[in-house]
Structure 1
């Protein structure tokens, strides 16, 4: 383990940025697009579901980001492959020790829907995971798009929408995901689950030598601090590496409005002063207002200083994770596709087509960077267009047949 790892350095300096694709989100094309854009924008970590196909999709996008260079697209110096080869994000996989809102999907029988239903579920879904195409196409929830936010549940006029929870089987999934070369594991837990947490942790321990980081995600609740100290003792008995406490304030709500960030900040303040040692990272309701609010509360680490990992008034947050809000910033590109189409275009000799892909990619990266850069102000290369990379041949195009 070394502080020369860019993601670990970001944690130590308080400007760690994590993209949350979703613990139950399995739409592979969107995962590739999100990972590609946020990798190019400077993300330190990509958090995905414990699904080999999802992990592979994210890895493909990271690899594409670190080798991509398209003539005439005028991408920024910070997305040049020489820069990205030394700054690739860590890939994290989320597991749970019991029922959790992040590990569920909505379900309903579309045949029961009234013919005159205004379909509020379809309109309210932030992931376009509910659709009613013309028969014979299947109607209802598109499972791979649903990430379990639950917004559709209360709006159904006949109250028929339910959620189906999933608890991962560590004995089955851990060998598969570790074989793919992931960098970190995040455990989602809730107060009162010490025994369940210990069982899951025992399954993870044999794989710890191959991991760079462990994270624990938890909601607010009674006796939360005491619970975290218990988990800290369980983990530290066998793990001495970086440990992140993710304060999941208001899960999957960041795209609803600026006020959703308050719960994560409030929980973080308590954990910073009273919680166990480790890095504290915000999540759950984070959005474009989070950095500003954190700065106003004195929770950001001053430039040039290191994050304190010990509890007390001097402790500051190590970073911020963004999920639903990060996805919302790229909605237009997720709808039209980016990464898969890009791979096809960069293999073509048509410079105009390749240029069009570059322009779409540039626009998506700019949108992602607008969320990343406030946390990393002054610490990353500015996303300015430069023509000096426009004539560099594309490694992707050279490595693959037309």
Structure 2
């Protein structure tokens, strides 16, 4: 594949996923700033067909996600993947126009915790962001970079000792720093904040021509219909495809399957509005979401002519009567937490000089060694690629000792777990295509990596 072909593929495949109703977005978290975790989450989900990776609007976090996606791109180019995984996911950042639960951090002083407290906050935290022991420096309290603001610790504290610090994006500074580095932006808003939305949009608009999509995330509320139409009127002149993210029950997807009903209900409500663009669920999405959508007939895949993916046509802006995709946050992160925890422990014992990364464009070999591999499964392919340190090599990796691809069995586990979440959405059978190309159903567990030339 030529460089031009790769760029075209990267631009086309997420839009195709939106049009066909199987868009998958990984939400790392608008406040989640654990750089190794962001990198490795982006890597794992990119390898199994994610269409978008949504991260905090922090230059360091953006850099970590970009590294993970570069690693995934190198794997795809060198080992070969099936057509549906060849493109690279879009990288998206989230901004807020006002106070929002996604943009906050828990905070408390452990010195004032009761000595006999059983620490329910530590147990309930899905991000393992609250610690009282085990840190090398003796730190106790909230690990700021790991907290993503779910708020579960707030009501469970027996003495109501835990608070939260909210923050609002500084639009002019953030826009200039991160928007040139990403493919899409998501604006978190709420009904009644049109003036605040306009203020934020004024900072984003100058960069909109370089963006491939604009997402608007909004929870339900009185006046939702008029509010979303007002936002559409404001941002539609940019010409970017619009994704309407229905934020059902924020940051709750890992709690239980029932929490997905709020997201689906709100998705149905927004579909009924008839807004041009794409409706994508979030807020309580989990393994139960796609089966329920199928049961309700809300995941009716569609195929558009190939030519319509080459340019921006009116097709991208027409109302749709089915859900175009699903975004997974808590459920996606918690699913891979056991692997990432093992990685952290294993990496502590590995000298930095022994770490291997693919996170660079400087690939040492021409790939002939990969194309001749005859392994029957992608686990052994991963081992062959990683163990052969002269086969793939980079300079100055960002995280030299905590790289998922340096531990083949952990990468394999991550791929299998991630594919269990991605696959149900991707295997929705598409309608007949007007092109003559063959598009098989997605099966990452069997086809993530294969041998053969690029």
Following superposition, the deviation at residue 268 of structure 1 comes to 0.7
Q: Distance in 2 between the 1:196 and 1:365 partners? A: 40
Following superposition, the deviation at residue 382 of structure 1 comes to 4.3
Check if 1:218 corresponds to 2:209.
no
Check if 1:51 corresponds to 2:62.
no
Query: Is the Cα–Cα contact under 8 Å of residues 25 and 52 in structure 2 kept in the other structure?
Result: yes
Following superposition, the deviation at residue 310 of structure 1 comes to 4.4
Following superposition, the deviation at residue 228 of structure 1 comes to 0.4
Q: Of 14, 21, 25, which residue of structure 2 is paired with 1:18? A: 25
Q: Deviations over 1:281-327 (max 9, x none)?
A: 0000000010011111111123546999645xx70011000000001
Listed as ranges, the matches of 1:107-118 within 5 Å are 107-118=107-118
Q: Distance in 2 between the 1:386 and 1:23 partners? A: 28
Q: Distance in 2 between the 1:241 and 1:107 partners? A: 38
Q: Of 333, 337, 350, which residue of structure 1 is paired with 2:339? A: 333
Q: Distance in 2 between the 1:226 and 1:370 partners? A: 38
Paired residue secondary structure (2:407) = helix
Query: Is the Cα–Cα contact under 8 Å of residues 419 and 444 in structure 2 kept in the other structure?
Result: no
Distance 1:242 1:133, change over 3 A: same
Distance 1:383 1:234, change over 3 A: same
Q: Deviations over 1:121-169 (max 9, x none)?
A: 0000000000001696121100000000000001111101011001010
Distance 1:302 1:385, change over 3 A: closer
Query: Is the Cα–Cα contact under 8 Å of residues 179 and 185 in structure 2 kept in the other structure?
Result: no
Quote the residue 1:166 is aligned against: 167
Listed as ranges, the matches of 1:285-300 within 5 Å are 285-300=284-299
Quote the residue 1:269 is aligned against: 268
Listed as ranges, the matches of 1:282-321 within 5 Å are 282-302=281-301, 304=303, 310-311=318-319, 315-321=321-327
Q: Distance in 2 between the 1:387 and 1:153 partners? A: 43
Following superposition, the deviation at residue 198 of structure 1 comes to 0.5
Quote the residue 1:397 is aligned against: none
Following superposition, the deviation at residue 70 of structure 1 comes to 12
Q: Deviations over 1:160-207 (max 9, x none)?
A: 10110010101111111034x200000000010010000111111100
Q: Distance in 2 between the 1:245 and 1:2 partners? A: 24
Check if 1:196 corresponds to 2:196.
yes
Quote the residue 2:235 is aligned against: 235
Distance 1:189 1:387, change over 3 A: closer
Which structure 1 residue ranges, 5 or more long, are not aligned?
394-402
Distance 1:69 1:222, change over 3 A: closer
Following superposition, the deviation at residue 384 of structure 1 comes to 1.9
Q: Deviations over 1:320-378 (max 9, x none)?
A: 00000001110111212279889914689x96973982222111111101100111105
Following superposition, the deviation at residue 273 of structure 1 comes to 1.1
Q: Of 409, 432, 440, which residue of structure 2 is paired with 1:359? A: 409
Paired residue secondary structure (1:18) = strand
Quote the residue 1:399 is aligned against: none
Check if 1:384 corresponds to 2:446.
yes
| More divergent stretch after superposition (137-146 vs 295-304) | 295-304
Quote the residue 1:396 is aligned against: none
Following superposition, the deviation at residue 69 of structure 1 comes to 7.4
Q: Deviations over 1:53-107 (max 9, x none)?
A: 0000000000001113799xxx8844xxx975x4100000000000000000100
Paired residue secondary structure (1:375) = helix
Paired residue secondary structure (2:60) = helix
Listed as ranges, the matches of 1:239-250 within 5 Å are 239-250=238-249
Distance 1:386 1:64, change over 3 A: closer
Check if 1:105 corresponds to 2:114.
no
Quote the residue 1:400 is aligned against: none
Query: Is the Cα–Cα contact under 8 Å of residues 50 and 177 in structure 1 kept in the other structure?
Result: yes
Following superposition, the deviation at residue 389 of structure 1 comes to 2.9
Listed as ranges, the matches of 1:94-173 within 5 Å are 94-133=94-133, 137-173=138-174
Check if 1:29 corresponds to 2:79.
no
- TM-score where L is the length of structure 1: 0.87
Query: Is the Cα–Cα contact under 8 Å of residues 228 and 275 in structure 1 kept in the other structure?
Result: no
Query: Is the Cα–Cα contact under 8 Å of residues 33 and 337 in structure 1 kept in the other structure?
Result: no
Q: Of 403, 419, 427, which residue of structure 2 is paired with 1:369? A: 419
